[in-house]
Amino acid sequence: MHFHSFVGELDSGESLVKLIAIMKRFMGDNFQASLLVIGGLVLAVHYERIMAIYGDGVPLIMAYGLPVTGKSTAVEAAMAIIGQREKTGGK
């Protein structure tokens, strides 16, 4: 398996480290699920690059669960990483 470095993109990861620390502090029992949402964003943003490297598919990450468990908050935080503020679907 080959690991590739994408150093130099965005801010070299400082914002992501801060976001994860904040999510750990405030998401409580939903912290692990919020990490999956962030992972899903990374997969979506780098889809073509990942397909070029591994070529056999990229998994889809979905936020699913009971109301008021942090799904929307996690998705909004993940989307803020790439400057996406506009929502589609939901309220």
Q: What is the pLDDT, as a whole number, of residue 1?
A: 41
pLDDT tens digit sequence for 23-74 = 889 888 888 888 888 888 878 778 888 888 887 777 777 777 788 888 888 8
- 14 assigned to some structural domain: no
Rounded to an integer, what distance in angstroms lies between the CA atom of residue 9 and that of residue 12? 6
Domain of residue 59 covers 32-81
- 89 assigned to some structural domain: no
Rounded to an integer, what distance in angstroms lies between the CA atom of residue 69 and that of residue 71? 6
Q: What is the pTM of this model?
A: 0.57
- 66 assigned to some structural domain: yes
Query: What is the DSSP annotation of 24-87?
Result: HHHSGGGHHHHHHHHHHHHHHHTHHHHHHHH-S---------STTSSHHHHHHHHHHHTT----
Confidence category of residue 4, pLDDT binned at 50, 70, 90: very low
